[in-house]
Structure 1
Amino acid sequence: MKVLGIFLFILSLTISLTILMDILLGFTLSQAMSHLLNPFWVIETGEIVMLVFFLLLTISQQIFFLKKKKASK
């Protein structure tokens, strides 16, 4: 559970840093959000599959460790 929390914390920090850098460069908030989401609009099917695979791998690893920890108690 700690790993998932750390992952979400680092994700939120990088998103906020990217948006802040765009705003400091003179873009509006909507343009900064557009720049942040643009890579997800242009990825192909294979890249989406890999992205979902890595996300599911992270979540399933945490579920596995939780079940293993409960079984050892």
Structure 2
Amino acid sequence: MSSPDKIVIELTNQEALVLFEFLRRCEDENDYKFADQSEERILLTLEVILEKQLTEIFSPDYSRILEEARKQIRDAD
């Protein structure tokens, strides 16, 4: 159980990979529209947390792994 000051968000590994890639790409392209610097701080912190957990991002097969994760998450047509 989390403390009153914290919440816990659970993601599948595939969800975490897709979220990490989105955050990384937005940072690389400077594509965020922040209302306050605190929003930037939170997203960068989240990206670092995900980076520490996701060993797949260092794999030579990362592009393939990411594409498979995206396929698993997409809505069915």
What is the TM-score of this pair, normalised by structure 2? Answer: 0.32
Max Rg structure? 1
Which structure ranks higher in relative contact order (CA pairs < 8 Å, sequence separation ≥ 6)? Answer: 2
TM-score, normalized by length of structure 1? Answer: 0.33
Of Structure 1 and Structure 2, the greater helix share is in 1
